[in-house]
Amino acid sequence: MHSPLLPVRTPRAHAADASFQHAMAERLRQSPWLMLSGGVHALLLLLVWALIPPEAAKKRPLQVAVEQTTQHEVERPKPPERPEVEREVDPEVQPIEDQVVTDNPTESEFPSDSDYADAPNESSFSSDQWNTALGLGPGAGGPYSERGNGGGGGAGGRQTPPSVLRGLQWLAAHQDEDGRWDADGFMKHDDPALEVCDGPGNAVHDVGCTALALLAFLGENNTTKSGPYRAVVRSGVGWLRKQQQENGLIGGRLSHDFVYDHAIAAYALCEAYGLSNSKLLQQPAQRALNYLESHRNSYGVWRYQPQDQDNDISVTGWAVMAYESGKFFGLQVNEEALKNCAVFLDQVSDSTGRHGYRAAGEGSSRKPGRHGVAFPTGQTHALTAVGLFCRFFLGQDPKEQPLMKASAKLLNSLPPVWDEAAGRIDHYYWYYATYALFQMGGGEWRRWRKAVEQVVPHNQHQQASAPNLYGSWDPVGAWGEDGGRVYSTAILTLTMQANYRYTPLVR
């Protein structure tokens, strides 16, 4: 039986043998003519070879090789020279000649980013407690996508307000050579032949004042590597780093409320790290956050002393911004702490939208003595402004939290008024309320913005005849005695950046 896949063969052995013998005989009869034809062709090839001069045969390949080499050299384009302006120089290891500030830090003060390339993270908390916002950074959108462009003009053609430019100019002119803003001695930079600035603050708040000034420069996209005030930022950041202790605390316990200064400095370091994209600042910023976490009350938030089980909304407001900034730029923050902040805000607020200092209905803190008389707590809604601003950054939405809309209405019941006699000047309140109402948007924001733009720039020093004061604000507000002219100028410059410093988070 044969396979169905193979053809059936019919035996024809005798026929095949006869055909093969016939073909071979025919070939043999033709072979003399084939041999004769092959000989003739071979003879012709020998004659052709003999007629070609040997020198010509040698020159031809040499000539071809020369022509190819010459053609290759002529046609190969030269690589374009790189323009001098495009060279990248790491400003953290090379001093920069800046037209705004000439007192740049030296190379030894700012080591290379590579010095920390293999350094440990230095987080003092276990990884299961923390959330890291991986993949986010400058240029990635988020809350930082609407910032300006180094003081010139930002996205969408936005121009920096003149009041901001004047404020930055004054702050840059009053920075110390080591990068600090001296709260009580800033006037050493004034021209003594002209009217010298008044309004010194308290020396224990140099860390906080320096951090606020840095935040103002960062708000115009000046970083340690770019912007017209990059040398100012780099120098200020360098000074803060030098004040940091082993436990992460920046500045030490120079006053009973030292954590205010540290929280603002942590906030500034986190922004400087993220916006500058600088590995050099990663560890200092993380350590600053670590100290805040070690200071926080267990199952609570923050106040003056570490883990004293006392909480207040004012310190907590700065800590929330440090945490949220650090989280956005990929640093480690304790998400449980942020959840505790949301719980605390609910504990200190009521249905009217009012937020209290340590408990619902409690007014703003005032120092003993005449401070409470000069600045009545009934003339400010500073704590409500802090609470509303924090709620936005904690992810809350006015559409789901009616209390937030009530808070916005409450803030507009006390708009900015430059009235020293009535104790209505509160730069801290105006700063937080401006940022909170910008996030709220709509009519509440438009009403508040109109008041701010009428009051704040109008009271900035703009007289060319007084260049030492030009661009600053008098420290006549509720906390001007503590921070002085540096504080007032920094926080009001920040206030005038509110409509582009952060992107609207909820719409």
HSE value, Cβ hemisphere, 13 Å, CA-based, for 167: 34
User: pLDDT of 473-500, one tens digit each?
Assistant: 999 999 999 999 999 999 999 999 999 9
Beta-carbon contacts of 174 under 8 Å, excluding residues fewer than 6 positions away, are 181, 182, 186, 187, 189, 190, 197, 486
Spelled out in words, what is the top-level CATH class assigned to the domain 147-368+380-501?
Answer: mainly alpha
Average confidence (pLDDT) over 49-74: 45
**Dihedral angle sign, alpha carbons of residues 123, 125, 126, 130:** negative
Q: For Cα atoms 189, 191, 194, give the angle at the middle one, nearest 5 degrees.
A: 140
Question: What are the extents of the domains in the chain?
Answer: 147-368+380-501
Q: How confident is the model at residue 144 (pLDDT cuts 50, 70, 90)?
A: confident
Q: Rounded to whole angstroms, how far apart are CA atoms 412 and 452?
A: 11
Mapped onto helix, strand or coil, the DSSP state of residue 138 is coil
With 0-12 / 13-18 / 19 or more C-beta atoms within 10 angstroms meaning exposed / middle / buried, residue 96 is middle
Average confidence (pLDDT) over 84-108: 32
Q: Are 210 and 240 in contact (CB under 8 A)?
A: yes
Give the H/E segment covering residue 11.
none
Q: Rounded to whole angstroms, how far apart are CA atoms 132 and 284?
A: 17
Q: Are 332 and 121 in contact (CB under 8 A)?
A: yes
Beta-carbon contacts of 207 under 8 Å, excluding residues fewer than 6 positions away, are 240, 243, 250, 251, 261, 262, 264, 265
User: Nearest CA to 332 among 137, 143, 136, 121?
Assistant: 121
Q: Are 187 and 464 in contact (CB under 8 A)?
A: no
Q: Rounded to whole angstroms, how far apart are CA atoms 251 and 204?
A: 9
Q: Are 386 and 314 in contact (CB under 8 A)?
A: yes
DSSP string, 163-228: HHHHHHHHHHHT--TTS---TTTGGGGS-TTSPPP-----GGGHHHHHHHHHHHHHTTT--SSSST
Q: Rounded to whole angstroms, how far apart are CA atoms 493 and 227?
A: 17
Residue 213 tokens, joined: 């000034």
The mean pLDDT of the chain is 80
Average confidence (pLDDT) over 217-245: 97
Q: Are 270 and 289 in contact (CB under 8 A)?
A: yes
CA distances from 364 to 158, 172, 212, 381 (A): 36, 32, 21, 8
Q: How confident is the model at residue 9 (pLDDT cuts 50, 70, 90)?
A: very low
CA distances from 250 to 101, 246, 274, 288, 335 (A): 25, 9, 19, 7, 23
DSSP string, 52-103: S-HHHHHHHHHHHHHHHHHHHHHHSPPPPPPPGGG----TTTS----SS---
Q: Rounded to whole angstroms, how far apart are CA atoms 102 and 328?
A: 32
* Alpha-helix runs per DSSP H in 188-334: 206-218, 230-242, 258-276, 282-295, 313-328
The pLDDT of residue 50:
56
Q: Are 185 and 202 in contact (CB under 8 A)?
A: no
User: pLDDT of 447-477, one tens digit each?
Assistant: 999 999 999 999 999 999 999 999 999 999 9
Strand partners, 355: 349
Q: Rounded to whole angstroms, how far apart are CA atoms 20 and 27?
A: 11
Q: How confident is the model at residue 159 (pLDDT cuts 50, 70, 90)?
A: confident
User: Which of 8-17, 33-42, 212-221 shows the lowest mean pLDDT across its residues?
Assistant: 8-17
Question: Per the confidence metrics, is the pTM higher than 0.85?
Answer: no
Q: For Cα atoms 466, 236, 316, give the angle at the middle one, nearest 5 degrees.
A: 100
Residue 503 tokens, joined: 């992107």
User: Which of 27-31, 51-55, 103-107 shows the lowest mean pLDDT across its residues?
Assistant: 103-107
Whether the per-residue pLDDT at 238 is higher than 70: the answer is yes
Whether the per-residue pLDDT at 254 is higher than 70: the answer is yes
pLDDT exceeding 70 applies to what percent of the chain? 70
Please name the amino acid found at residue 105. P
